[in-house]
A and B are shown apart, each in its own frame.
Chain A
Amino acid sequence: MAVLEYLANGLVFSSIIVLASIGLSLVYSIARFANFAHGDTLTVGAYGAFVGFALIGDVGPTVLGLPGGFYIAVAVGAAVAAVVAVVTQRLVYDALEIGAIGLLITSIGVAFVYRALVILGFGTGSLRYAVPAQRPIPALVPIGVRITTQEVAIIVVATVLVIGLHLLLRFTLLGRMMRATADNADLAQVTGIRTAQITRWTWVIGAGLAGVGGVFLGLYNQVEPRMGFNILLVVFAAVILGGIGSVYGAMIGGFLIGMIDQLTPLLGDLGIPIGTEYSYAIAFVIMVLVLLVRPTGIAGGDPG
């Protein structure tokens, strides 16, 4: 019975990791560096939505346990994260004439700046979104699944966004240009694609998804200044497991890592003395095992 509950928890947590992973992988595919500020982009999104929700309030009908205003706030959080990321890209990353390692280290500094600004504005304590507190859906409790409608909302919105991104990448001009630029930026430019513009769109989409992930992480757990940084390691694991630079890999990797993390209690239930404090360690061991078999990650080599 408990398995169903762990799976439900895993679905919610995976949804958040997937949103964060896609952004990290997208940015890597175009900008070619591991963006350590990505975790704090989640934080920026979460706080953006916090302010947005405070301004908008409980407007609109309640959908899946969340007021309409909250969905607008999610969009606000995504927009704030996207704007912050694009401004950073123009002012910092673009202006620097250094390689991937230099950009990586710069992004660590950027992460500190984001976090420090959040702490300056909101303090170090944790916050909660002013949405109604919920109990598990009663109909599901008898079968051992304890999930709130708000958690269902997280899964639904994440699924919609993932499908939307898939459609965008496969069936729109922008998506084709993004894939072309990720594949070979020079060739893409020669064929007339404005790669600078495409790069900017990639940042917008990547950071926007991270922003949504941040809001959901805040809704699921707590809104606090280190929330994004704390999840960054897992997100990197997900992206590397899936194959860095591949969007579909990030989806698979994020889903697997989130699930593994939340399924760890099963080991204890089966009598294997490995506690939940090892959940990240287990996720990383599985990542290492997969990389031993497929060094490029699950979907590595696929330009996504």
Chain B
Amino acid sequence: MTHAGPSRYDRRTVLQYAGLAGVVGLAGCTTEQSGGEDADAGDAGAEEPAPDVYRIGMVNSLTGSLADFGTYNERGVALALEDVNASGIGGVPLEIIVEDSESLPDAGVSAAQKLVNQDQVPLIIGAVGSGVSTSIYESVIRGTDVVQLSQNSTSASLTEYPGLLRMSPPGGPQVQVLADLIADDGVGSVAVAWVNNDFGQSQRDGFVDAWGGEVAYDSPHDQEQSSYASVVAEMANSGADAWVFLTYQEQTAAMLDDAYSNGYEAAFYGSDSAKGPSVLEGTPAGALEGMKTVEPSAAIDQANYQDFASRFESAYGEAPTSWSSFAYDCVITAALSIATADGFTGAALGGTVRDVTRSPGETVTTFSAAMDVISDGGDADAIDYDGVSGPIDFDANGDPVGSFQVFEVVDDAYVSRGTRTV
């Protein structure tokens, strides 16, 4: 590609902007028209670009090392769509085009490119892995009006992208809670095994900053190594009292399996990503006994969460994870921002997506309650959606507020040990 000639990509981008500008212009017209009292209904109908269906995109980890999260998300999204499409957004149904990120940045970027360029969605829910989310933002979203709302990313690095919103609270406070928890358990020295990417690095940095004791082992490992025996051997030889896993389920399972067959004993701790059914299934019975993890907590004592949880249980036969509730709230937030925006464009949704989640406005906890307020002529500032995952309240950096729940493995099952805040 030379700098002199206009490239094909440039032409396409220009066309896209032209199209977008046209749509925005059109939306502007409509607002102006309906702004004039008693505008002719027939005319307004002809101009209104309200589509038959609102299509938004989602990049999810259907396969790869975060596939557990992909399932959590699918379930949360299914329940949210049920709620939204019971009445629709002003009668128009919401549809979500889901693409797989394979839990990897390059595949995630391709998925997002397809959604933005081909399906032309104005809003993308995505992604799970923090590295995937930031790659999508940097390669696809930045410089466009498209709104990106990550469902599960917890890396501190997302805070540096104010344009990239997320439903799950950042990992900074989370690893701080983890460090406090380990200190409260009377542990003096820790071995920290972290996954060699954005997510692992930021969790490790946050943890080591918050941790007051000794760090006897502090090394990264790659995803999908064929053997973790040397990592485990080094952790054991470091003589640490506690092992902290700032990595994913698959790697945690492989390492704990090795630790068990090598007969190593230590207190195990982990971040949210080191917890999951695949860790229990991937290790011998009893290998995880006493392992404690910290994860962002849903609003477990709120009525809307309890309703969500009971519906979730009857649909899937198990209690929802926080991750499902984040995905649920992503969809509801997206639907509410569509309902309050004056056009189905990225620019219009970008203007409302934060405001529907925070004050001022009447506190609403369900989609239908929010729609009641909106249909009485309310705009984005008229509502403050408190979701099943918590109060949300997006700040200037696109981060929500949150609390954290502690789990402990007892008899090969995760048992809640209450919530903690920073």
Contacts and interface: CB of A to CB of B under 8 A. Distances in A.
B230 A124 contact: no
B219 A276 contact: yes
Interface string A31-55: 0000000000000000000000000
Contacts of B260: 133, 135
A40 B391 CA distance: 47
Interface stretch (A91-99, A169-177, A189-197, A226-234): A226-234
A5 B278 contact: no
10 contacts: A6-B233, A126-B278, A133-B260, A133-B284, A133-B285, A220-B227, A222-B253, A265-B237, A276-B234, A277-B220
Contact of A261 (B230, B233, B261): B230
A222 to B, nearest CB: 6
Contact of B222 (A222, A265, A277): A277
B226 to A, nearest CB: 4
Interface residues of B, number: 37
Contacts of A133: 260-261, 284-285, 287
A67 to B, nearest CB: 16
Which 7 pairs of residues, A with B, have the shortest CB-CB distance? A133-B284, A146-B262, A231-B226, A9-B229, A136-B263, A275-B219, A124-B63
Given A124-B63, A125-B67, A125-B68, 17 more contacts: A6-B233, A13-B226, A13-B227, A13-B229, A125-B281, A133-B284, A135-B260, A135-B261, A146-B262, A146-B263, A221-B227, A231-B226, A265-B230, A265-B234, A265-B237, A276-B231, A276-B234
A222 B260 CA distance: 14
Nearest to A135: B263
Contacts of A117: none
B203 to A, nearest CB: 16
Contacts of A217: 226
Interface string A61-102: 000000000000000000000000000000000000000000
A265 B222 CA distance: 15
B233 A2 contact: yes
Nearest to A229: B224
Interface string A120-139: 00001110100001111000
B64 interface: yes
Contacts of A124: 62-64, 67
A107 interface: no
Interface in A221-266: 221-222, 224, 226-227, 230-231, 234, 261-262, 264-265
Interface string B289-317: 00000000000000000000000000000
A265 B284 CA distance: 26
Contacts of A230: 224-226
A275 B220 contact: yes
Given A126-B278, A128-B281, A217-B226, A136 B233 contact: no
Nearest to B250: A126
A279 interface: yes
Contacts of B278: 125-126
A265 B221 CA distance: 12
A291 B233 CA distance: 31
A109 interface: no
Interface in B200-226: 219-222, 224-226
Interface of A: 2, 5-6, 9, 12-13, 119, 124-126, 128, 133-136, 141, 146, 148, 150-151, 217, 220-222, 224, 226-227, 230-231, 234, 261-262, 264-265, 268-269, 275-277, 279
A54 to B, nearest CB: 15
Nearest to B258: A221
Nearest to A235: B226
B262 A136 contact: yes
B233 A128 contact: no
Contact of B233 (A227, A265, A277): A265
Contacts of B64: 124
A187 B63 CA distance: 49
Contacts of A277: 196, 219-222
A32 to B, nearest CB: 27
A222 B219 contact: no
Contact of A276 (B221, B264, B282, B287): B221
Interface string B375-394: 00000000000000000000
Contacts of A262: 227, 229-230
Nearest to B238: A268
Among A2, A128, A146, A264, residue most surrounded by chain B Cβ atoms (within 10 Å): A146
A209 B81 CA distance: 50
B54 interface: no
B226 A221 contact: yes
Interface string B44-87: 00000000000000000011100110000000000000000000
Interface in B226-247: 226-231, 233-234, 237
Contact of A264 (B230, B250, B261): B230
A178 B283 CA distance: 43
A220 B229 CA distance: 10
A234 B234 CA distance: 22
B338 interface: no
Given A265-B234, A276-B231, A224 B250 contact: yes
B341 interface: no
B257 interface: yes
B261 A134 contact: yes
B263 A268 contact: no
Given A133-B261, A262-B227, A262-B229, A222 B220 contact: no
B128 interface: no
A121 to B, nearest CB: 14
Contacts of B283: 128
Contact of A268 (B68, B196, B234, B261): B234
B189 to A, nearest CB: 17
A222 B257 contact: yes
B221 to A, nearest CB: 6
Contacts of A148: 261
B363 to A, nearest CB: 40
Contacts of A226: 224
B254 interface: yes
A42 to B, nearest CB: 10
Nearest to B217: A268
Given A136-B262, A136-B263, A230-B225, A9 B233 contact: yes
